[in-house]
Amino acid sequence: MSVSRSVVIGVDSSTQSAKAVAVDAATGEVLGIGRAPHTVTGTGGARESDPEEWWTALVTAVRAAVRTAGIAPEAVTGIAVAGQQHGLVVLGSGHRPLRPALLWNDTRSAPQAAALTERLGGPKAWLDRTGSVPVASMTAAKWQWLREHEPHHAEAATAVRLPHDLLTERLSGEAVTDPGDASGTCWYATADGAYDARLLDLLGLDAARLPVVAPAGATRAGGLTAAATEALGLPRTVAVAAGTGDNMAAAVGLGLGAAGLLDHPVVSLGTSGTVFAATRTRPADPALAGFAATDGTYLPLGCTLNCTLAVDRFATLLGLDREDARPGGETVVLPYLDGERTPDLPAASGLVTGLRHTTDPRAVLGAAYEGAAFTVLRALDGLLAACGLDPADPAVRDRPLRLIGGGARGRTWTDTVRRLSGRPLVVPAADELVALGAAALAAGAATGEDPVAVATAWGTGTGRTLEAVPRDEETWRRIEGVLTVATPGLLA
C-alpha cells in the first residue's frame, strides 16, 4: 500500500444510502468506492430514518472505499460529508438522537409550513429573509411539527442538527455547518449570512442548540476525534471539512461557482428531481428554494418530490422494465405519488388520464416519464426567469443542460428530457457527483485550495454532449392543460 499520493474522501449521505469515494487529490481519479444502505420507514406522508444508522453506514462505506482503493490509511488527508438536506435531527442526553430523524420528503409538516408563512406576514416576508418560503420539506416546518405533535421531544432537545451536521460532528467533535446546508432550514438568513433571530424566536428555537455556521463548506472543522479514528481506521491528522448539503456538493463537483454562472443549468434526476444554477444575484421566487452556495454565490433550486422512484413505481404496477416505454401519446400522467413540492401540492396524489381500451401499457409508462420530466423542466423555466432570463429566448434555450443523477444513465430518461426540453444535453462521465463534490471540499480543507477550482481541474463536470432535438410542444401543451384543469389557478 502506497502513501506517496494524497487521497481525500467524499461522503454522500443520501436518503437511501451512504456512498464514499476515495479520490487522488492531485488528479481527481477515483481510487475506491464504498456503499452501505439506509433504512427509510413511514406511511401516510411520514418518512423517517435512524441517525445512528447513518453513522454506521458512513463507517462501512469509508472503510470499503479505502480498502478497494488499496491505499494505506496514512495517505488520507481530508474527508467531507455532503448530506441529504432539510432532515431534522434532535439530540438529547449523551448527544444521542431522541427519535428518528424527520426526512426532507416527510410531508406531514405541510400545515405547519402554511401557518408559519402566514405568521411572519406571507411569502414575501420569508423571501426577504431566507430566500425561501416554508414548505413541508423545510426544516423549520418539521421543527414546528415536532413542537406541536411531540412537545416532549422538542423540549428535551439539547441540540438540533441537519443530517450532514450530525455526521460532521461525529467525525470532528465540532458542532459546525455551512451556509449552503443552513440555507435550507428556513431559519438562516441568506441576506445576512447568519441565523435569523426573529425567525428563531418565531420557532421557539434557541440558537445555542444549533451548530456554528462556517464561512464555507471547505472550512476545516478540525481533525478526526479519537472515536472516529478508531471507527474509520484513519489517522487523527485527517482534515474534516465543514461539508454541505447534497445539492451544493453536486454543484461543486460540476465546477459550478463564480466562474460559470448560469452557463450550464443543472437537471438532476434522482429520487427527487432538482434543477439548480449558480448565480451572484439572490433571486426571490416563492416556487424556488433560494439556497446559498459554498463559495459566496447563490444556488437557487427547484425540487420535485416525484422523479425516478415514482416512474419506477409505474413500471412495477404495469409489470414492465423501466426502459420498456414509448411516448405517451394522448395519455397523460401526473406522477405525484408522494404529494409534490414544485408545484407546492403536498396532499396531491397521482393522476392518469386519456386511457382507452387500446392504450399500450408502454405508453402509460412513457407518460409517467413525460409527466415527471415536464414537472422538472417547468421548474427550470421558473428558475431561469427568477434569475432574470427569458426561458423562451433562443439564446437561453440553446444553452445546454447538465443532466446528472441516476436517471441520467437511463436511455428513456435522457430521451424524454431531450425531447421535452429541446435543448442540448451534457451528461458528465463522472458518477457520484455529490461524493466527488464532497471530496473537493475535503481537498479544500486539507490544502486551502478553492474546491470549485479543484473540481474544475479534475474535470468531473465534463462528459458527452447530445445535440438538441425539436421540442415536443404537443406533449408539453397536453400535460400543461391537464395540470391546469387538475389544479385550477396554479399556472395563472
Catalytic residues: 246
Q: Determine what percent of the chain falls in helix, strand and coil, rounding each to the nearest 5.
A: 40, 20, 40
Q: CA distances (Å), 193 to each of 131, 167, 219, 256, in order? A: 11, 23, 15, 20
| C-alpha cell read off for 74 | 496514512
Q: How many CB atoms lie within 10 A of CB 321?
A: 11
Residue for cell digits 444556488? Answer: 299
Residues 6+ apart with CB under 8 A from 424: 398, 400, 401, 465, 466, 467, 468
Strand blocks (E) in 209-308: 212-213, 220-223, 239-241, 244-245, 266-269, 273-276, 289-292, 298-304
Instruction: Please give the Cα distance from 329 to 45 (Å, whole number).
Output: 32
Cβ proximity of 78 and 446 under 8 Å: yes
Q: Enumerate the H helices of 17-50 as residue ranges.
A: none
Q: CA 252 to CA 256: how far, in whole Å?
A: 6
> Does residue 384 contact residue 428 with C-beta atoms inside 8 Å?
no
32/402 Cα distance (integer angstroms):
25
Q: Helix, strand or coil for residue 36?
A: strand
Q: Are 318 and 352 in contact (CB under 8 A)?
A: no
The residues, ordered by sequence, that sit 6+ positions from 109 with a Cβ below 8 Å of its Cβ are 102, 136, 141, 142, 144, 145
CB atoms within 10 A of CB 463: 17
CA separation for the pair 201, 431 (Å, rounded): 42
Q: How many C-beta neighbours within 10 Å does residue 312 have?
A: 16
Residues 6+ positions from 444 with CB-CB distance below 8 Å: 78, 216, 217, 218, 241, 450, 451, 454
